[in-house]
Structure 1
Amino acid sequence: MEKPDQIFEPINHDSVAEAVVHQIESLIVTGILKDGTRLPSEREMSELLKVSRPKLRDALKHLEDQGLLHVRHGEGSFIAPLTGTALTPAFLDLYARHPEAFFDYLEYRREQEAFAARLAAERATGADREIIAAILDEMERARDAQDSEAAQIADINFHSAIVDASNNSTLIHMMASIYDLTRRGVFYNRDFLRTIEGAGRKLLAQHQAIAQGIFEGDPEAADKAARAHIDFVEKSFRIGHQRELRERAAKKRRVLAGQK
């Protein structure tokens, strides 16, 4: 996240509290301030915005009343959970029992991530490209260290960074909910992919291809690379699912053979 003095702007407006509210709302809408983000201290924010602390308190109170902020006494002010969860716990359990639903999830991600990559290739700023490049470095280090947890975190951060670089506020907030499911391991278990020979190298190359299309400002290449990445994941999991079914059948045959 950028330093506070780089995202907040001094207030110059007749209605100071309203201007503070508007600026923070805009940062939330554009996805710069996300769920759970802690705001700077009251003293720091008043200095950054160049407003009095009473006016700032009025603005923060208004945002809290709107349900946009959570104030935790002794901890500070935090952006409230706004995107919610895509599915209820009961429905998540249902999905877990029916692997075919996972492929619907991938189908959705394929279209949305290809769209995000295309927009990012057209709209990404220099700062966006720097963030994506830094995450690619993290992915490479995680692969070399065979650190599956770090690799999964970097993977999600990579796709989130591309969505952010799309500069489409609706896409940013909708995909935040989808990536939350991924973080919780509801659908996507990267551990399986590690059992496929050369998967780590292939996944890194796929992410690099997506980034390259964005860095070169080539929407078609970015779109194509994003689709190819999800296609690889889908194919790998279909193979894995079929292998699991065959192994279950073989175990049953072994049990029956032992009974003879």
Structure 2
Amino acid sequence: MPFQKVVPEKLSTSVVKQIELLILRGVLRPGERLPAERELADKLGVSRPSLREAIAELQERGLLSAKAGAGVFVADVLGNAFAPALVKLFAAHEDAVFDYVSFRKDMEGLAAERAAVYASDTDLQVIDSVFKKMEAAHPKRNPADEAHLDAEFHLAIIEASHNVIMLHMMRSMYDLLREGVFYNRSMLFKHRATRSELLDQHRLINDALQARDAKAARAAVEEHLTFVEHSLTDHSKSLRNEVVARQRLEHEQARG
């Protein structure tokens, strides 16, 4: 007969599985500090020795790391997504920027389409909440804040798509974007007209998601990233033109 005896599971094993799932689902993020041992044991309803055993196993697996005097943290498992040499190569070549935007267009268009179908009502509330923060930040004209909220908005959509592979892959890509590897996000928010257009584009994305219109959500994301691509092209041309203009000015001044 195809039956086996049920073996009771160790408490530490249950803790390991729970923390693993929280990391896998993106609830616990790389670099995030876990609660203190006593507090976490209470939350999980286990003894501190069982918790220590689970933490030790997760550290051994490379999912958690301990810092002396600071606590236990989710390991930076995304840090090795790209080799340092490849990151430098990305940063040094303009082609990587446009390939990145094209990749985002494909992936985030799909994520928005999935989110419109699979997101829970709570997921949609999170996306709407971030968009409202974007609206509130708009009059303040702080490019750094706007760039940060822009990233949070797009990552909230990816989280709402409920595909863990896409989630971790895109988080690693956004970490590089935040570090300016692909382009300076703040550059997009420098001009009044561009800032207003970007806000309107995010409003269309949010509206489509709240209406659970998968086709419109994907189209809105793709149109937004096409706009980003064109803006980056214009910025790149502007920088090249400025170099030529300065050369002409220096030459003219040298001629007396």
Normalised to the residue count of structure 2, the TM-score between the two structures is 0.90
- Structure 1's 203 and 85: CA in aligned 2 closer, same or farther, altered over 3 A? farther
| Partner residue, 2:3 | none
Report Cα offsets for 1:153-207 as digits up to 9, x if no partner.
1111111111111111001100111110111122232333234441111111111
| Partner residue, 2:162 | 167
Report Cα offsets for 1:198-219 as digits up to 9, x if no partner.
1111111111111112111111
Percent identity of equivalent pairs: 38
Q: Which amino acid aligns with 2:153?
A: F
User: 2:187 aligned to 192, 203, 206, which one?
Assistant: 192
Q: How far, CA to CA, are the matches of 1:46 and 1:259 in structure 2?
A: 74
Aligned-residue Cα RMSD (Å) equals 1.7
- Structure 1's 95 and 65: CA in aligned 2 closer, same or farther, altered over 3 A? closer
Q: Secondary structure at the match of 1:87?
A: coil
- Structure 1's 96 and 57: CA in aligned 2 closer, same or farther, altered over 3 A? closer
Residues 70, 80 of structure 1: 8 Å contact kept: yes
Q: How does 1:119-134 map to 2 (within 5 A)?
A: 119-134=114-129
User: 2:218 aligned to 212, 223, 228, which one?
Assistant: 223
Q: How big is the shift at 1:120?
A: 0.8
Q: How does 1:90-109 map to 2 (within 5 A)?
A: 90-109=85-104
Q: Which amino acid aligns with 2:181?
A: V
Report Cα offsets for 1:17-51 as digits up to 9, x if no partner.
11111111111111111111211222222222212
| Partner residue, 2:4 | none
Residues 30, 75 of structure 2: 8 Å contact kept: yes
Residues 142, 148 of structure 1: 8 Å contact kept: no
| Partner residue, 1:236 | 231
- Structure 1's 251 and 129: CA in aligned 2 closer, same or farther, altered over 3 A? same
Q: Please state if 1:178 is matched with 2:173.
A: yes
Q: Which amino acid aligns with 2:54?
A: A
Q: Secondary structure at the match of 1:78?
A: strand
Q: Which amino acid aligns with 1:103?
A: F
- Structure 1's 58 and 93: CA in aligned 2 closer, same or farther, altered over 3 A? closer
Residues 15, 51 of structure 2: 8 Å contact kept: yes
| Partner residue, 2:205 | 210
| Partner residue, 2:151 | 156
Q: How far, CA to CA, are the matches of 1:142 and 1:234 in structure 2?
A: 23
| Partner residue, 1:111 | 106
Q: Give ranges in structure 2 of 5+ residues lacking alignment.
A: 1-7
Q: How far, CA to CA, are the matches of 1:33 and 1:217 in structure 2?
A: 27
Q: How far, CA to CA, are the matches of 1:206 and 1:49 in structure 2?
A: 42
Q: How far, CA to CA, are the matches of 1:251 and 1:73 in structure 2?
A: 53
Count of residues paired in the alignment: 248
| Partner residue, 1:15 | 10
Q: Which amino acid aligns with 1:92?
A: V
